[in-house]
């Protein structure tokens, strides 16, 4: 798959996710719908946010670092878009259940930051000669 095809499919998928999110917002009543409705809400929101942040992150990296390999930007942007989307959706889920406090938010941020640091350090480990 070429980079152009990837960006086209990612953009199309993101638009579909935001359309699904708009449908969930407009047609599902949170007082009547069961857990499936809330699942649709959070999944559509997650997909929309992660796609949007992935595309924005790729555009930002492409404009700042044009000399580097483009597919490296794609993987970093996708990973960080998913992590930030998980942070936003997790925060909204905690808030909806009245469990969001400053220390819960701090723990979420620290946890996702450590996850990103893990990915950054795991990629750059030199192979051992054992």
- pLDDT the model gives residue 1: 85
Q: What is the pLDDT of the chain when averaged over all its residues?
A: 92
**pLDDT tens-place string over residues 34-80:** 999 999 999 999 999 999 999 999 999 999 988 877 878 899 999 99
How distant, in Å, are the alpha carbons of 35, 61, 90, 92, 97 from that of 38?
Answer: 5, 34, 13, 12, 12
Record the tokens describing residue 19, joined without a space: 């359309």
- pLDDT the model gives residue 130: 60
Q: Is the pLDDT of residue 113 over 70?
A: yes
Instruction: Name which residue leads in pLDDT, 70 or 124.
Output: 70
Q: For residue 98, report the phi and psi dihedrals to the nearest 5 degrees.
A: 55, 40
Instruction: Name which residue leads in pLDDT, 70 or 104.
Output: 104
Q: Is the pLDDT of residue 125 over 70?
A: no
């Amino acid at each position: 798959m070429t980079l152009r095809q990837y960006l086209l499919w990612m953009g199309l998928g993101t638009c579909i996710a935001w359309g699904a999110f708009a449908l969930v917002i407009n047609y599902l009543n949170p007082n009547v719908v069961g857990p499936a409705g809330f699942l649709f809400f959070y999944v559509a929101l997650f997909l929309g946010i992660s796609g949007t942040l992935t595309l924005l992150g790729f555009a930002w990296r492409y404009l700042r670092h044009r000399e580097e390999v483009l597919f490296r930007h794609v993987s970093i942007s996708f990973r960080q878009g998913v992590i930030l989307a998980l942070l936003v959706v997790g925060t909204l889920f905690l808030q909806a259940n009245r469990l969001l406090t400053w220390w819960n938010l701090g723990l979420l941020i620290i946890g996702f930051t450590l996850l990103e640091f893990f990915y950054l350090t795991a990629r750059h480990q030199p192979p051992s000669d054992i």
